[in-house]
Structures are given as C-alpha cells and as structure tokens.
Amino acid sequence: MKKKYTLLALLAALALNSGNIYAKASEHQHQREHKGLIWSALHGLDYEFKAGVNIGGTSPLPLPQEIRSIDSYKPGLAITVEGNATKWLGEKQKWGVSVGLRLESKTMTTEATVKNYGMEIFTETGGKIEGLWTGGVRTKVRTSYLTVPILANLKLGERWKIVAGPYLSYMMEGDFAGNVYEGHLRTPDATGSRVNFSGENVAAYDFSNELRRFQWGLQVGGSWKAYKHLNVHADLTWGLNDIFRKDFTTISFAMYPIYLNFGFGYEF
C-alpha cells in the first residue's frame, strides 16, 4: 500500500513539473513572438537624423495698411535638429509616410514704419499706455518649438524625394518685444491725446506673454541623396494660425511664422 501511495505522489509531481515546463515554454514562445513583431515593425522603417537652420520671419499676410514700409530685416541664428522614421508602402515602395520630432528655433529682427498701429508701451514709471502708434517700430521675435511633422513622401528616382503634410508645434519659449521711436502715440484712439517721441526718446513694448503655445501649419520640401547615407534637404514651413492668443487685440491683424529650412540628414 505504501508503495502505491509513493508511486501516486511521484506521478503527481511529474505532472506538476510538466505543467510548469509547458507554461514556461509557452511564455518564452510568446515573448519571442512579441519581440519578433516589434523587430519586424522596426526593421521595415527608414530612420534619419537631420540638422539645419531656419531663415524667415513672422509676418501678417498680406501686409495690412497699418504697415507702410519694411525698413530693415535681419534673420537670426535659428538651429533645428530632428529625428524621423519613414514607412514605405506597396511593392515598389515609391510612397511613404513619415513622423518626426523636431527641436527648432525661429528668430528675426525687423524695423518698419507704421501708421495707426496698435501698441502698448511701457512708461518711465513702469506703467503702460495703450493706443495707436505712428512712426518707427523695431521688433525682435525669438521662439523655440517642439514640432511633430506628419508627412507624405514620394520618391522621384533613386536620389530625389519630395514631402508634404501638416505639422504640430508646442512653443517652449517665446519673445516678441521691441521699441518704438521717431513718432507719436494717440491714446486711447486716433482722436485721443498725443504723446511724441523723437531723437533718443524711445519706448519699449513686450507682447511675449500673449504668444500662443500651440501652433500648426503646413510643410513642403524635398531632399537629394548626395551619398549613400547623406541627404541634403530644403523645407518650407508655413504657420496657419495666429502666433498670438485669440483674446489679444492690441495688434489688430494675425501674424504667421513662415520659414525656409536648409540642412543635412544622415539616413540609417
């Protein structure tokens, strides 16, 4: 009888151990299949690291009647770095879709002559005066964004490729400030009291806190494969929503960031 119980105990232990071995084998097989699917998805993508510079400006379109002339324009050093992945579709793999993550800056300095231009300037005592400015305006715009471009890709032969699609941007830092000079401010409107500025008498303004955090627009461009892994690219980005918040009314017209990016890319 004792031998019978011993044999039953051994059979039960073997069955339990076999079950554990089968469970572990199934788990390992599932992990291998999961890793295989991830590798297959990643293996079918092209990866690229890009770096370049932005040249352009933030401007109303078309120029409103308040801006009588653009007297000077100076682009700043605006660096961009980006990583993206492209999935090619179909047997010929002529068309594809890419998603990227771009860290970029956009900057410019301009001087303009304006008439009845909405303005809010700082006084010598630290207060503010709002009204309509006629005279010179110096503006410096400097912004930095985290941008996600979602682009359609089309190959034109072995070396050329064009891209187009929307982008979404989040502004991490932004400055829109400057000063007014050689002119006068009517407050609160065109028929109000007049404050004159001439010579070295200037007044500063700062609309940085009125900038919109989320922006979006369109991107179109192309690239040329110079070597096996090295690409040369040029892309135009055109913002489609006002850089200022909706409730900001001092400047009465919308302004849009329009920049051309030149650079190089390394394709893995």
What does the pLDDT look like over 50-101, one tens digit per residue?
999 999 999 998 999 999 999 999 999 899 999 999 999 987 789 999 999 9
Do 79 and 212 reside in the same domain of the chain? Answer: yes
Are residues 203 and 88 located together in one domain of the fold?
yes
| Digit-coded pLDDT (tens) for 198-230 | 888 889 999 999 999 999 999 999 999 999 899
Cα separation, 154 vs 190, whole angstroms: 53
Tell me: do 134 and 236 sit in the same domain: yes
Are both 13 and 145 inside the same structural domain?
A: no
| Contact between residue 257 and residue 58 where contact means Cβ atoms under 8 Å apart | yes
pTM: 0.81
Q: Are residues 36 and 49 in the same domain?
A: no
> Between the CA atoms of 7, 11, 17 and 23, what dihedral angle is there, to the nearest 10 degrees?
-170
How many domains does the chain contain in total?
Answer: 2
ω into 188 cis (within 30 of 0): yes
Q: Residues 256, 127: one domain?
A: yes
Question: Which residue among 9, 27, 43 closes a domain?
Answer: 43
Beta bridge partners of 64: none
Residues 137, 243 within the same domain: yes
Q: Quick one: 37 and 49 in the same domain?
A: no
DSSP reduced 3-state for 176? strand
CATH number at residue 222: 2.40.160.20
pLDDT at 40: 42
Same domain, 78 and 186: yes
Highest-confidence range of 21-25, 38-42, 132-136, by mean pLDDT?
A: 132-136
Helix, strand and coil content of the chain, in percent to the nearest 5, comes to 15, 60, 20
Same domain, residue pair 239 and 151: yes
> Quick one: pLDDT band at residue 33, thresholds 50, 70, 90?
very low
Written as one string, the DSSP assignment of 89-128 is: ESSS--EEEEEEEEEEEEEEEEEEEEEEEEEEEE-TTS-E
DSSP symbol at 83: E
**Furthest-apart CA pair in the chain: how many Å?**
117
Which domain range does residue 1 map to? 1-43
Say yes or no to pLDDT of 36 above 50.
no
Flag whether pLDDT at 2 surpasses 60.
no
pLDDT at 90: 81
Here the tokens at position 144 are 């930095």
Alpha helices in the chain (DSSP H): 2-43
Burial class (CB in 10 A: 0-12, 13-18, 19+), 162: middle
In this structure, the answer to whether residues 34 and 103 fall within a common structural domain is: no
CA neighbours within 13 Å on the CB side: how many for 85?
A: 6
Residues 65 and 162 in one domain: yes
Tokens standing for 209?
Answer: 């806190």
The mean predicted confidence, pLDDT, of the chain is: 87
Find the helix or strand (DSSP H, E) in which 253 lies. none
Cα separation, 202 vs 183, in Å, equals 9
